[in-house]
DNA sequence: GTCTATACACTGATAGAC
DNA sequence: GTCTATCAGTGTATAGAC
C-alpha cells in the first residue's frame, strides 16, 4: 500500500465519526463542530484531514460506506449456502451489524443539499453497491419467485432497513425481527 | 365554527406550504425564508401567522397532517368492503394521494432537532393516527394471518411509504407498484 | 397582514502561529 | 496536526412603521 496504516488511521477516525453522525441525524443537521467535538479537536482542525470541507467529507463518507457494503454483500452472496432463506438471513444479519444506511432519507433529503454532480455520484454508487448486488442475487432464484427480482430485492432491503425503526418499539431481538421479516417476504402474510 | 373560513385560509396556506417543504426536504434543511418565498411574503411576516416560530410551525404541520391521516384511514377502513385485498388497495391508493409522510426520517432525523416534549407529542400522534388504525384493521383478519397484526401493519405502511422512492427508478404506474406491493405482502415472493 | 431594520447566534471556511 | 482568530454568510427571532 502507498500509505502506512498509521498515516491512514487519523483520517479514518474522522470518517468514522462523520459516518456515525451523518447516518443518525442527516447531512443538514450535523455541523462540523459536532464532528470535531466528538473527535476531541476544534472545528478548524478538520480541514487538515478533509480540505474539501463538509460537502466533500459527506461524499467520501458515503462512498466509503457503500463500497464496504458492496464488498460485504458480494462476499456473503458468493460464499453463501445455496439455500435462499439461509443466505438471506446471513445477508440480513450482516446488514444489521453495519451502520444504518437510511437510503430513503439520503436520496430524498440529504442529496438535494449538496452539489448535483456529487449527488449523482452517490446515487450511482448506491445502485451499484447496494441495490444491484441484491438484485443479481435474487435473479439467481428467479424460477422460484413470483414477480420481478429487482422489485423483491428492493422490498428486502427496505424491509431490513426499516428494522432500525421497528426496534424502537418492539421488545423482540434483532434475530427474531429479521426472521419474521424474511419469512413474511418469502411466504406472505396470509395462511395458505 | 368560531372562525370564518376566510380567517383560516391564510394560515392554512402557510401550513400547506410548510407541510410540502418539510415533507420533501426535512426539518433542518427547510428555512423560514424558503417557506416565505414560496408564499410570496417576507420571512418575518410568517410570525404573524405562527407566533411560535419554526419549531411550533413544524409541530402544527405534523399534527394536522397526522390527524388528517387518521380520519382518512378510519373512514376507509370503516366503509371498506370486507375483502382484505380490496380494502388494502383502497387504503394504499389514498395514502399515495397524500403528501408523503416519511415516518422513518421524521422519527430518526427530524424529531431529534426539536424540543423533546414536542418530539414526544408528535411521536405519540404518529402511533395514534398512523400505526394503530392499521394495526386494528389487520387485527380483524387475525385468524387468516400468519404472524402478528402489528408487525404486518408496520410492514404494509413502510412498504407503501417506500414506493415514493421506488417510483424514481421504476417506469411502472403507482397502481401497478401498489398492486405488486400488496400481492407480495399477502402471498410472499415464493411460488407456492 | 406585510414590510424594513436589526439583533444575535451559528456555520463553514481561511490564514497563520505553534 | 492542532490551535486561535477572524470573516462572510445565513438563520431565527423581535420591534416597530405602514
Cα pseudo-dihedral A108, B149, A181, B75, rounded to 10? -20
Options 3.40.190.10, 3.20.20.140, 3.30.460.80, 1.10.357.10; CATH for B53-187 is 1.10.357.10
A45 nearest nucleotide via C1' and CA: D2
Angstrom CA distances, B39 to B4, B10, B62, stand at 21, 10, 19
Render pLDDT for A36-66 as a digit per residue (tens, 0 to 9).
Answer: 999 999 999 999 999 999 999 999 999 999 9
Q: What cell numbers appear for B185 in the block?
A: 405482502
Q: B-side interface with A, Cβ within 8 Å?
A: 24-26, 28-29, 102-105, 107-109, 112-113, 127, 144-148, 151-152, 154-155, 158-159, 161-162, 164-166, 168, 170, 180-181, 183-192
C-alpha cell at B36: 416565505
Chain B residues touching A191 at Cβ < 8 A: 144-146
Q: Return the CATH superfamily for domain A54-187.
A: Tetracycline Repressor, domain 2 (1.10.357.10)
Distance B81 CA to D7 C1' (A): 65
d(CA B30, CA B13): 17
Within 10 A of B75 (CB to CB), how many other CB atoms are there? 11
Could you tell me the residue ranges of all domains in chain A?
A: 54-187
Say which DSSP state A44 is in.
G
Query: Å from A59 (CA) to C16 (C1')?
Result: 29
- In this complex, the residue with its CA at the shortest distance from the C1' of nucleotide C10 is A31
Phi, then psi, of A40 in degrees rounded to 5: 75, 25
Tens-of-pLDDT digits for all 192 residues of chain B?
444 445 579 999 999 999 999 999 999 999 999 999 999 999 999 999 999 999 999 999 999 999 999 999 999 999 877 799 999 999 999 999 999 999 999 999 999 999 999 999 999 999 999 999 999 999 999 999 999 999 999 999 999 999 999 999 999 999 999 999 999 999 999 998
State the pLDDT confidence band at A67, using cuts at 50, 70 and 90.
very high
Amino acid at each position: 500500500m502507498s500509505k502506512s496504516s498509521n498515516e491512514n488511521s487519523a483520517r479514518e477516525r474522522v470518517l468514522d465519526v462523520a459516518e456515525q453522525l451523518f447516518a443518525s441525524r442527516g447531512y443538514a443537521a450535523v455541523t462540523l463542530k459536532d464532528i470535531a467535538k466528538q473527535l476531541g479537536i476544534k472545528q478548524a482542525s478538520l480541514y487538515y484531514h478533509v480540505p474539501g470541507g463538509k460537502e466533500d467529507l459527506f461524499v467520501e463518507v458515503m462512498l466509503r460506506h457503500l463500497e464496504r457494503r458492496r464488498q460485504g454483500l458480494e462476499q456473503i452472496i458468493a460464499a453463501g449456502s445455496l439455500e435462499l432463506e439461509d443466505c438471506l438471513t446471513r445477508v440480513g444479519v450482516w446488514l444489521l451489524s453495519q451502520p444504518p444506511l437510511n437510503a430513503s432519507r439520503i436520496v430524498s433529503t440529504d442529496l438535494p443539499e449538496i452539489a448535483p454532480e456529487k449527488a449523482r455520484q452517490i446515487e450511482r454508487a448506491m445502485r451499484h453497491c447496494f441495490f444491484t448486488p441484491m438484485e443479481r442475487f435474487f435473479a439467481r432464484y428467479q424460477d422460484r419467485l413470483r414477480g420481478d427480482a429487482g422489485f423483491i430485492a428492493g422490498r428486502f432491503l427496505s424491509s431490513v432497513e426499516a428494522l432500525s425503526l421497528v426496534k424502537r418499539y418492539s421488545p423482540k431481538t434483532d434475530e427474531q425481527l429479521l426472521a419474521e421479516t424474511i419469512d413474511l417476504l418469502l411466504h406472505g402474510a396470509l395462511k395458505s
